[in-house]
Amino acid sequence: MLQPASTPISISLDTIQSLLPQIDVFDTIRQGFIAYSKGEAVIPPVGELLFDQPPGEVHIKYGYIKTAPYYVIKIASGFYDNPKQGLPSSQGLNLLFDKANGQLRAILLDQGFLTDVRTAVAGAISSKALAPSQVNSLGILGAGTQAFLQWEYHRQLIDFQEVVIWNRSPEKATALAEKIQKKGGRARVTNSVEELARHTQLIVTTTPATSPLIQKDWIQAGTHITAVGADMPHKIELEPELVAEADLVVVDSISQTKRQGEWSQALRENLVQDGQAVELGSVLENPKLGRQNDQQITIADLTGVAVQDLMISQAIFENIQ
């Protein structure tokens, strides 16, 4: 006699947000990357669905860690005309299934929030692992939700005195600076990416740019850049020559960089070769693979890996039970 399937738990955005402070997100995501780079995860290529009227994009990331009890399917979308209708552009959810029998356990109705968080956490972890020993200024390109969250998680791991913000729309950059100031940070706006690049030791790029924003010649010795914007094949934030000539490029997923991210752009131009990038999980497990001295230029190129979605969804689910 077959049993009825167990009923999945539906977890609202409010509940997710209230549970998040109970989770050590840094350790959770760090463990995910380490397992991934040790080959303990099964993560197929990212699924992608594109729309043109109105413009939109959906990413489907899915997979599991062999020793963990769940598999995840994460759906995150960006519909960039939404704000005109008073809707957030990010939408999406995480689904957690029992890996022993395929049953759906939890529907995390996070509307893209967990994707935003795990992306910012990965950025902060990467910067912590690779930044030079002294960071006076943190530079941020972009002024959206992700830019704010990168500041929020970076300041938990790294000491810096000031944030310098550049954004294509200066009004939004000013709004972000004010938001950061209200939260106790020191922030200023610049209208020059070059000025930002020349005067900050740690740069985080969070834009949907499709042509390079940062030129190689602007970057000083010792700088670290964490690039999180380029999550699709046509997106790019850094001049490929910068990627090619950096002393160290760390990527979250070597297999994904064949298709998306800053490394993929440099690969396409034959400026770098497969096998020259190091995976983030390997550096987290063995810091000797990271920055060697305060003169190196280092880059973390993050495209987002399903193992992050798995780890953060699992942590929320286990905290609700």
Which chain residues interact with a second copy by CB under 8 A? 1-3, 5, 8, 10, 13, 42, 44, 47-51, 54, 56, 58, 60, 62-64, 71, 73, 75, 77-79, 82-83, 85-88, 91-93, 95, 97, 99-104, 107, 109, 111
Q: Which is nearer to a second copy, 65 or 193 (CB)?
A: 65
Q: Which is nearer to a second copy, 64 or 160 (CB)?
A: 64
To which H or E segment does residue 165 belong?
Answer: strand 162-166
Q: Tell me the closest approach of the beta carbon of residue 75 to a second copy, in angstroms.
A: 6
Q: Tell me the closest approach of the beta carbon of residue 62 to a second copy, in angstroms.
A: 6
Cα–Cα distance, 109 to 4 (Å, whole number)? 24
177 burial class (0-12, 13-18, 19+ CB within 10 angstroms)? buried
Q: Which is nearer to a second copy, 71 or 160 (CB)?
A: 71
DSSP state of 99: T
**Distant-in-sequence, close-in-space partners of 318: CB < 8 Å, separation ≥ 6:** none
Q: Which is nearer to a second copy, 57 or 195 (CB)?
A: 57
DSSP result, 111-157: TTHHHHHHHHHHHHHHHHHHS-S--SEEEEE--SHHHHHHHHHHHHH
Q: Tell me the closest approach of the beta carbon of residue 208 to a second copy, in angstroms.
A: 15
Cα–Cα distance, 247 to 174 (Å, whole number)? 33
Q: Tell me the closest approach of the beta carbon of residue 298 to a second copy, in angstroms.
A: 33
Q: Which is nearer to a second copy, 33 or 97 (CB)?
A: 97
Q: Tell me the closest approach of the beta carbon of residue 54 to a second copy, in angstroms.
A: 6
The 10 Å Cβ neighbour count of residue 271 is 16
Handedness of CA 220, 228, 167, 269 (dihedral sign): positive
The 10 Å Cβ neighbour count of residue 273 is 10
Q: Tell me the closest approach of the beta carbon of residue 70 to a second copy, in angstroms.
A: 12
Q: Tell me the closest approach of the beta carbon of residue 2 to a second copy, in angstroms.
A: 5
CA angle (247, 249, 251) in 5-degree steps = 170
Q: Which is nearer to a second copy, 29 or 106 (CB)?
A: 106
Q: Which is nearer to a second copy, 77 or 226 (CB)?
A: 77
Residues in the chain: 321
